């Protein structure tokens, strides 16, 4: 029963987990879609609001300038002109208030579906009304500055008249007292009645005189304050800012919403460094082109005019390739094959990379030699000549050599007689045969003062001395040719050359193939003495070419080339 239920339970559990994963993916996708939609909507609304804000600001600056010009023109206008303008302002304000009511409230425009539609028009009406009101207030002050002195003169005359009446009343009282000094104090007399009436009239005239005096002083202070304060018109910016504040607040809210969105948090840092990244990318693209042009048109021609390098002038230039296994080979210069037979004498030792040892005699003795040459540990390690198979024998034996793991390589044997020396790249070396009583010799030669060495970045040359036999490899084969009176080959294919030859570099003929990475900058030239040069059939197979070169691989190879590896 358990055996039957277990697969069913596992099947249900597996698909239930799959269902949960699908639900989770759908939820995340829906959340991302909504966030992206909200970000797009907020961004679009923010863009429209900023456009409306720009329109309002532009109109506002123009309206302020027009208002200042109108006020300046009315600064010295007479009272009737000011009154006419004030009446016109009242009508304009009334008309714009009616128009504003038709558009609706500003809040509904800022929060409605069509964000930005009519906002500029609505704000312009508010600003026009506010500027008209400020113009009205200022013109009212100007009108007061004209009319208030006239009112002051009228109040002065009223005060003078009231004072004259008061003085006349007091004079009549004095005259009545002089004519009837006793009767004015005796009740029921005519003089008494007349005197009492004059006194009551005096109280009323005294009050009128006091009121006229206070009105005159009040108006005098007002006129003085108007004269003392300069009538300079300035727009009340605080009232303007209060009108446009809702639009600014709406823009701030949209900006905050956009900043808080995860899409902005991701895209903003990218956009901040995008320009610098593009400049760096452009520099990365153009720098190799500039460097290649500099090397082609400046350094390479300069190096071609410098004296050539000669490593060992006294050495023999003899290098004898072991012939292929046929009597009449079609191309004697091609000395390599997929597999080669090597006869090892009893007084000889073979050091070979295990990958290239295809078969050997049973009676031969095989052990391990960890480095090709203990005096050149770095060269041995980098060239792969480590953990070599060392083969010795009591009688001559035949050994078959073949690249068992590299389908494109071929192997060949070069015989270096006594006194011969050859400059050779250790990376193309797979084995060495030398006499058991005489180990082969490797020397290093630096050429720091040669422009050819610096231009090719090969400052050190590794030289193999005879007597010895070198087992070499080449991509799709290798060739050996005599230098004769002078030869040149593609530098990328050079494996080695006789140490007594004059070695120099010449620039390739055409710039575009070099720029595109189809041809090396320099060709190796050999001349000056009897000798040979060895090169691969297909150099640099499978390596990157083109405008960008080989990246870090090329940098590493250049460092190895400095040491002749």
My answer on whether 328 and 203 are in the same domain is no
Q: Which residues of the chain have pLDDT under 70?
A: 1-4, 104-118, 144-152, 222-232, 323-330, 379, 382-383, 540-565
My answer on whether 229 and 335 are in the same domain is no
My answer on whether 237 and 180 are in the same domain is yes
pLDDT of residue 131: 86
pLDDT of residue 111: 60
My answer on whether 314 and 254 are in the same domain is no
CATH number of 535's domain: 3.60.160.10
Based on the structure, what is the number of domains in the chain? 2
Residue 521 belongs to what domain range? 306-562
My answer on whether 404 and 312 are in the same domain is yes
Domain membership flag for residue 293: no
Domain membership flag for residue 233: yes
Closest CA to 429 of 411, 448, 453: 411
Domain membership flag for residue 250: yes
Task: Give the dihedral sign, CA 301/307/313/318.
Answer: positive
pLDDT of residue 548: 41
Domain membership flag for residue 286: no
Indicate whether this model's pTM tops 0.85: no
Domain membership flag for residue 270: no
My answer on whether 447 and 370 are in the same domain is yes
My answer on whether 394 and 477 are in the same domain is yes
Domain membership flag for residue 273: no
**Domain stop point among 242, 258, 274:** 258
Check if the beta carbon of residue 391 is closer than 8 Å to that of residue 372: no
My answer on whether 313 and 249 are in the same domain is no
My answer on whether 370 and 513 are in the same domain is yes
My answer on whether 198 and 139 are in the same domain is yes
pLDDT of residue 465: 92
**pLDDT, tens digit (0-9, with 9 covering 90-100), for 494-508:** 899 999 998 888 888
Contacts of 300 (CB under 8 A, 6+ apart): 455, 505, 506, 507, 521, 522
Domain membership flag for residue 289: no
Check if the beta carbon of residue 435 is closer than 8 Å to that of residue 417: no
My answer on whether 201 and 123 are in the same domain is yes
SS (H, E, C) 310-365: CCCCCCECCCEECCCCCCCCCCCCECCECCEEEEECCCEEEEECHHHEEECCCCCE
Contacts of 562 (CB under 8 A, 6+ apart): 457, 458, 459, 460
My answer on whether 175 and 46 are in the same domain is yes
pLDDT of residue 229: 53
From residue 331, give the alpha-carbon distance in Å to each of 134, 324, 394, 487.
Answer: 105, 10, 36, 18
DSSP state of 183: G
pLDDT of residue 541: 46
Domain membership flag for residue 134: yes
């Amino acid at each position: 029963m358990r055996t039957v239920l277990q697969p069913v339970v596992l099947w249900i559990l597996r698909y239930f987990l799959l269902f949960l994963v699908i639900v989770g993916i759908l939820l995340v996708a829906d959340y991302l879609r909504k966030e992206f939609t909200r970000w797009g909507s907020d961004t679009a609304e923010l863009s429209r609001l900023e456009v409306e804000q720009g329109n309002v600001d532009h109109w506002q600056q123009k309206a302020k300038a027009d208002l200042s010009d109108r006020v300046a023109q009315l600064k010295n206008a007479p009272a009737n002109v000011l009154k006419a303008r004030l009446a016109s302002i009242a009508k304009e304000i009334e008309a714009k208030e009616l128009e504003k009511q038709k558009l609706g409230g500003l809040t509904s425009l800022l929060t409605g579906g069509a964000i930005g539609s009519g906002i500029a028009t609505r704000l312009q009406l508010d600003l026009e009304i506010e500027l008209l009101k400020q113009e009205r207030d200022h013109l009212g002050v100007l009108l007061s500055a004209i009319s208030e002195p006239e009112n002051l003169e009228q109040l002065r005359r009223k005060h003078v008249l009231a004072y004259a009446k008061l003085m006349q009343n007091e004079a009549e009282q004095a005259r009545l007292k002089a004519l009837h000094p006793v009767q004015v104090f005796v009740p029921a007399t005519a003089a008494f009645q007349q005197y009492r009436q004059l006194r009551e009239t005096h109280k009323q005239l005294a009050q009128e005189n006091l009121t006229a005096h206070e009105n005159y002083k009040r108006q005098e202070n007002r006129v003085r304050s108007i004269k003392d304060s300069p009538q300079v018109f300035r727009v009340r910016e605080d009232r303007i800012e209060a009108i446009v504040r809702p639009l600014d607040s709406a823009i701030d809210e949209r900006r905050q919403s956009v900043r808080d969105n995860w899409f902005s948090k991701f895209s903003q840092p990218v956009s901040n460094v995008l320009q610098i990244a593009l400049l760096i990318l452009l520099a990365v693209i153009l720098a190799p082109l500039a460097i290649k042009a500099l090397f082609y048109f400046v350094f390479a021609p300069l190096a071609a005019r410098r004296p050539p390098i000669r490593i060992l002038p006294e050495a023999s230039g003899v290098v004898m390739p072991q012939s292929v296994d046929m009597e009449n080979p079609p191309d004697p210069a091609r000395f390599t094959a997929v597999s080669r037979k090597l006869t090892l004498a009893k007084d000889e030792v073979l050091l070979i990379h295990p990958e290239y040892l295809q078969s050997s005699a049973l009676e031969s003795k095989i052990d391990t030699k960890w480095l090709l040459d203990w005096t050149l540990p770095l060269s041995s390690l980098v060239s792969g000549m480590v953990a070599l198979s060392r083969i010795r024998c009591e009688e001559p034996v035949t050994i078959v050599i073949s690249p068992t793991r590299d389908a494109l390589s071929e192997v060949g044997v070069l015989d270096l007689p006594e006194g011969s020396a050859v400059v050779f790249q250790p990376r193309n070396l797979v084995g060495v045969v030398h006499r058991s009583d005489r180990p082969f010799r490797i020397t290093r030669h630096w050429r720091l003062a040669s422009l050819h060495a610096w231009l090719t970045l090969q400052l050190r040359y590794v030289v193999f001395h005879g007597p010895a036999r070198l087992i070499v490899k080449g991509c799709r084969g290798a060739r050996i040719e005599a230098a004769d009176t002078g030869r040149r080959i593609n530098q990328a294919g050079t494996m080695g050359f006789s140490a007594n030859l004059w070695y120099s570099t010449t620039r390739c003929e055409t710039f575009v193939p070099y720029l595109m990475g189809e041809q090396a900058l320099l060709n190796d030239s050999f001349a000056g003495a009897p000798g040979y040069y060895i090169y691969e059939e297909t150099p640099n197979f499978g390596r990157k070419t083109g405008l960008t070169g080989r990246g870090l691989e090329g940098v590493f190879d250049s460092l190895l080339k400095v040491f002749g590896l």
